[in-house]
Amino acid sequence: MAPSLETSAKAYSPIIPSTPLRIVTDYLMDAASSRNMSESQQTSTETQNTPAPNSFLAQTAINQLAGTSVGFLFTKSPIHSSSLPPTLPTVEISPVKQRMDHQLSKNTYTRAEVEEMLTVKQAEANYWKGTATQQQAVLVLQGVHNGKLCQQLQAKEEKGKKKANTRLLADGMPQVLTQPELIRHVTEMEQARGKLAVQKSNRAQAKKELAEQMAEWRVHEKDREKENERRKAAFEQALEEWKLERAAAKKRGEKVKQWDIDNSQPKRRSDEYRDIPKLPKPKLLLPEVEEADDGEYFDLDGVVDSEDEDDNDE
């Protein structure tokens, strides 16, 4: 059902909307108009037995949007970085000021004056209603865009979580639970899982200790940099004073060579002025898991831990 002229967003749209915004705006206006007609024409009993008309309007709007610039939102294809959602339109707002002061100050109004004021107020209401409807349409499309991005991110996160391979035998043949070979594989698998659990616990503890060491190292680095700046400034000041004293001694007629021997020039590499060396940055050290003395060797290539690959990527 097409919207009437009185309820259409096209009649008072502040700016020319794009095709996706026009479709969503028309859907919102049609849905509101259909709801108002249902409430005014149907009784409460009939309303409960009649399906909502918005489902047909929504499907029609989706079919129309599929052929526009935002059609990627209504397909199963993933969203690319170049597929941007529509931007929120902005409207210039003038300063607040009183209008029709000469008419508002009157006590009595003629019919023509009342109709004129009502027309102006209705036009203003329609203008801002059109603006709000367009902005709501943009928010609807942006919500669909964000929802689809969240689904893609969740699918990527689930895909990145690699589960451990728990298959014992890869020949695909049925196995007897009491056969020695299967029991041996189960024992080895349990030992491998236990070793992975210990490695995971050790890794978490090592990361925790590394975080504490890094915090201390950063504090030490800040103090070291400040101390080096102080030593550099002290050296420059001492060197400047030494040059002034040397020039004064030369001016007094003293022998410069003898004065240099008695008053050695400050050196940057001396213990008093040289920079404090930088401490090595802490590194992640993983303790090795001790192997059992007895038992058979088990190849861990079939068991995958997702955190192992994350550490290797880092």
pLDDT by residue (tens digit) across 106-121?
677 788 888 888 898 8
Measured between alpha carbons, how far apart are the two ends of the chain, in Å?
58
pLDDT at 299: 47
Whether the per-residue pLDDT at 264 is higher than 50: the answer is yes
The mean per-residue pLDDT over the stretch 85-111 comes to 69
* pLDDT for the residue 151: 84
Identify the pLDDT of residue 10. Answer: 45
- Give the pLDDT mean for 46-69: 63
Percent of the chain with pLDDT over 90: 12
* 102-106 mean pLDDT: 62
Between 62 and 229, the higher pLDDT residue = 229
Would the pLDDT of 294 be above 90? no
- What residues does each domain of the chain span? 9-159, 191-291
Indicate if the pLDDT at residue 226 is higher than 80.
yes
The tens digit of pLDDT for each residue in 117-150 reads 889 888 888 888 877 877 777 877 777 778 888 8
Q: Is the pLDDT of residue 22 over 90?
A: no
Question: Cα separation of 212 and 206, whole Å?
Answer: 10
More confident residue, 287 or 216: 216
Q: Which of 145-154, 227-236, 285-294 has the highest mean pLDDT?
A: 227-236
pLDDT above 50 for 71 = yes
Q: How confident is the model at residue 165 (pLDDT cuts 50, 70, 90)?
A: low
Rounded mean pLDDT, 268-287: 87
Average pLDDT over residues 227-238: 93
What's the confidence (pLDDT) of residue 146?
81
Give the pLDDT of residue 3.
Answer: 41
Return the pLDDT at 221.
92
Q: At CB < 8 A and 24+ separation, what contacts does 268-276 make? A: 268/235, 272/231, 272/234, 272/235, 273/231, 273/232, 273/234, 273/235, 273/238, 274/231, 275/228, 275/231, 275/232, 276/224, 276/227, 276/228, 276/231
Mean pLDDT of 157-176: 65
* The most confident of 31-45, 83-97, 203-217, 277-291, by mean pLDDT: 203-217
Mean pLDDT of 87-100: 68
The answer to pTM > 0.75 is: no
pLDDT score of 312 more than 50: no
